[in-house]
Amino acid sequence: MGAAAAAAAVAVVLVAFLCCGAAQVQQQQRQRQLRFDGRRGEFRVLQVADMHFADGKTTPCEDVLPQQMAACSDLNTTAFIRRVILAEKPDLIVFTGDNIFGFDATDAAASMNAAFAPAVASNIPWAAVLGNHDQESTLSRQGVMKHIVGMKNTLSQVNPTGVHVIDGYGNYNLEVHGVQGSNLVNKSLLNLYFLDSGDYSTVPSIPGYGWIKPSQQLWFQHTSSKLKRSYTNKPHPQKGQAPGLAYFHIPLPEYSSFDSSNFTGEKLEGAISSPTANSGFFTTMVESGDVKAVFTGHDHLNDFCGELTGIHLCYAGGFGYHAYGKAGWSRRARMVVASLEKTDKGSWGGVKSIKTWKRLDDEHLTAIDGQVLWSKSFSRKGM
């Protein structure tokens, strides 16, 4: 075999190895199936928004009380994650963007490793999407997402397999199956959608932040339809659709629909920092019919939930200490718990309710603003 042919053969083997390696990682991720807990009939999701992690103990805090400043750093963010994980014992941890603050992170990979370390160490599955600051350090937006996907215990994906073209990095869905040993063990009873809401507009005539593009919405529609068919098909066909939750960073323009009379929580920022272009994703979700709540970050001083056309639009509130906030207003995280109903035969059935509350990083890790986001018994006809 000549040198050129040998080199070509090695290249083919190398490409095959890399492809198979990536496929193997994805297979390992799929094998760690999310499912409802058989004792409580619950699935618990912890949302962490806007960590803004940079360089650890050398990174100062922003907007804290004067007496907190001297000893405050990124390590306060790390300590808060550990506290809330121990208190809430989530089944999944979701990071909704601006995980690192790129301008101040001298090494993007090192910053992400430190930021996600409590989730990795907990051995709890976790997932992440990107915000508008994650790519501003030493890795591109694609590079950041690829690094996340390669980390331990994550279920994150760069983009779904089998999709030819889709905008952004970090569009994927996760299925939460029924209790082990139940009739619904192979049915997804709760569907989680993760989308890349972009960073900044690339259209000169449209200023401001990015938005969820048509290709992403088409993927969402196809995925929602596929999940509905699976839910209603044999074996053990179910009625209607399994409820869904959507997670991304930048709030939709529809978040500006609320005032103090029709939401739970606080709205401390003057305006919603949504894209100036409305791409219609809210309407797409309404038409699909399964999404019951959307969870975003981006606006650190908003932590409210409000319902519009059958979908709750929720903020988590700012989590990270190297991020703007308000001195004396505790950093916070959002919990979401989906609970199953009991069947006539005493086994676990489908989802009966979805509830939420927030945890404050105060002395007692106070839980506030508990509310029901969706209940099967009170769901609208056709939802």
Structure token digits, residue 62: 């922003």
User: Which tens digit of pLDDT belongs to each residue from 55-112?
Assistant: 999 999 999 999 999 999 999 999 999 999 999 999 999 999 999 998 999 999 999 9
C-alpha angle with apex 305: 129 to 159, nearest 5 degrees? 15
Q: Does the pLDDT of residue 380 top 70, yes or no?
A: no
The answer to whether residues 327 and 63 touch, using CB atoms and an 8 Å cutoff, is: yes
Spatial strand order in the sheet of 188-194:
34-35, 172-177, 188-194, 244-247, 291-296, 311-315, 305-308
The answer to whether residues 226 and 241 touch, using CB atoms and an 8 Å cutoff, is: no
The answer to whether residues 111 and 77 touch, using CB atoms and an 8 Å cutoff, is: no
Buried b (16+ CB within 10 A) or exposed e, 30-45: eeebbbbeeeebbbbb
CA nearest to 321, candidates 107, 48, 59: 59
Check residue 238 and give its pLDDT: 94
Dist CA 38 CA 142 (whole Å): 37
Can you state the percent helix, strand and coil of the chain, rounding each to 5? 30, 25, 45
Dist CA 52 CA 109 (whole Å): 14
Check residue 383 and give its pLDDT: 34
Structure token digits, residue 276: 């100036």
The answer to whether residues 90 and 45 touch, using CB atoms and an 8 Å cutoff, is: yes
Determine how β-strand 172-177 pairs with β-strand 348-360. unpaired
What three-state secondary structure class fits 9? helix
Structure token digits, residue 110: 């090192």
Using pLDDT thresholds of 50, 70 and 90, give the confidence band for residue 379.
low
The answer to whether residues 289 and 382 touch, using CB atoms and an 8 Å cutoff, is: yes
Q: What is the mean pLDDT of residues 223-250?
A: 96
Longest CA span, the chain: 78
C-alpha angle with apex 123: 118 to 128, nearest 5 degrees? 65
Q: What is the mean pLDDT of residues 219-223?
A: 97
In the chain, the percentage of residues whose pLDDT exceeds 70 is: 90
C-alpha angle with apex 348: 343 to 349, nearest 5 degrees? 65
Q: Give me the architecture of the 34-378 domain, per CATH.
A: 4-Layer Sandwich (3.60)
Question: Residue ranges per domain, the chain?
Answer: 34-378
Structure token digits, residue 334: 């959002």
- pTM to 2 decimals? 0.91
Q: What is the mean pLDDT of residues 4-21?
A: 39
The residues near 225 (Cβ < 8 Å, ≥ 6 apart) are: 288
